[in-house]
Amino acid sequence: MRLSDDQLARYHKDGVLVLPGLFSAEEVEVLRRPLARLFAEDVPENFREMVSGEVRTAMGLHLRDETYARVSRHPRLVEPAWQILNDQRLYIQQTKVNAKIAFTGEVWQWHYDFATHHNEDGVPEPLALNLYILLDEVSEFNGPLWFIRGSHTARDVPAALDTGTTSYPLWCVDRASVARLAAEGDILSARGLPGTALIFGDRMVHGSPPNMSPWHRRIYSLILNPVANALTKQTRSEHQHHRDLTPVTPLADDCLLEAVG
Ligand code: SIN
Ligand code: MN
């Protein structure tokens, strides 16, 4: 699948691309099916919310489930990533579902991923791409991702490690920087029906508010990074940044609808 010139232009201008309907309702249903089992597992890959103990994020999914192994090599994700990154060889850096469960899902603070990738994993350049699929409808109520439009072009945005706000250590952006960047751009709230995809890069400043609604907000996230830009430090767990640098190769377009197993 190729992004159109218009889509590419929007990606480069805003820093995030929203692709409604990239995956069908049937495909989303296939992706939802293993989640109850995966979330029930008592493994270090499942990070739990500080207050409720519900799963906040379930990582390493392409190694834990065949459906997630497939979606992590889906041509509708891998091919646009190749297009944006000029056909570089890419490895799977991280796969997860961020749950933000009804009533209890906690905040993701303002951050850009490169601050964590660089400081924790020694990734040299901000080239990694985030490819998301909304697995539930995301509305104004259940904790949509917010992006500061244009923040991907800002350089040297200060970031500091926050280990206290949530259960997940994250390099975050301070309030003054968020205010300055949001005054220049504005905030895009990424809402959409299940099956909508989002693509954004490593410098894009984003976050999401808590979910006090009665509706789950589950989102699948794949991070692909060029092999030539691989991690140089192995301090975090493998499921936070995989060490297998085998270049990803796409499967067939209908790979989610073929019987698993
Ligand atoms: C992230 O930035 O990795 C997570 C954001 C979210 O799930 O809202
Ligand atoms: Mn992030």
Average confidence (pLDDT) over 160-165: 97
For 70-79, how does the pLDDT look when each residue is reduced to its tens digit (9 = 90+)?
999 999 999 9
The ligand 1 atom at the shortest distance from the C-alpha of residue 130 is 3
For 237-254, how does the pLDDT look when each residue is reduced to its tens digit (9 = 90+)?
999 999 999 999 999 999
For 28-77, how does the pLDDT look when each residue is reduced to its tens digit (9 = 90+)?
999 999 999 999 999 999 999 999 999 999 999 999 999 999 999 999 99
Report the nearest-CA residue for atom 7 of ligand 1.
98
Q: What is the pLDDT of residue 260?
A: 66
* DSSP, residue by residue, the chain: ----HHHHHHHHHHSEEEETTSS-HHHHHHHHTTHHHHHH--STTEEE-TTT--EEEEE-GGGT-HHHHHHTT-HHHHHHHHHHTTT--EEEEEEEEE---TTTBPPEEEE-HHHHHHHHH---SS--EEEEEESS-B-SSS--EEEETTGGG--S--EEEE-SSSSS-EEEE-HHHHHHHHHHS-EEEE-B-TT-EEEEETT--EEE--B-SSS---EEEEEEEEGGG--S---S-TTTS----PPP----TTTTTSPP-
Q: What is the pLDDT of residue 185?
A: 84
* 223: CATH: 2.60.120.620
Which ligand is located closest to the Cα atom of residue 207?
1
Q: What is the pLDDT of residue 258?
A: 86
Which ligand is located closest to the Cα atom of residue 219?
1
- The share of the chain scoring above pLDDT 90, in percent, equals 97
The ligand 1 atom at the shortest distance from the C-alpha of residue 145 is 8
Average pLDDT value over all residues in the chain? 97
Predicted TM-score (pTM) of this structure: 0.97
Q: What is the pLDDT of residue 87?
A: 77
Q: What is the pLDDT of residue 259?
A: 72
Count the domains in the chain: 1
Residue 129 has pLDDT above 60, yes or no: yes
Give the domain extent around 151. Answer: 5-258
Pocket lined around ligand 1, Cβ cut-off 6 Å: 98, 108, 145, 206, 208, 219
Residue 261 has pLDDT above 60, yes or no: no
Q: What is the pLDDT of residue 143?
A: 98
The ligand 1 atom at the shortest distance from the C-alpha of residue 208 is 8
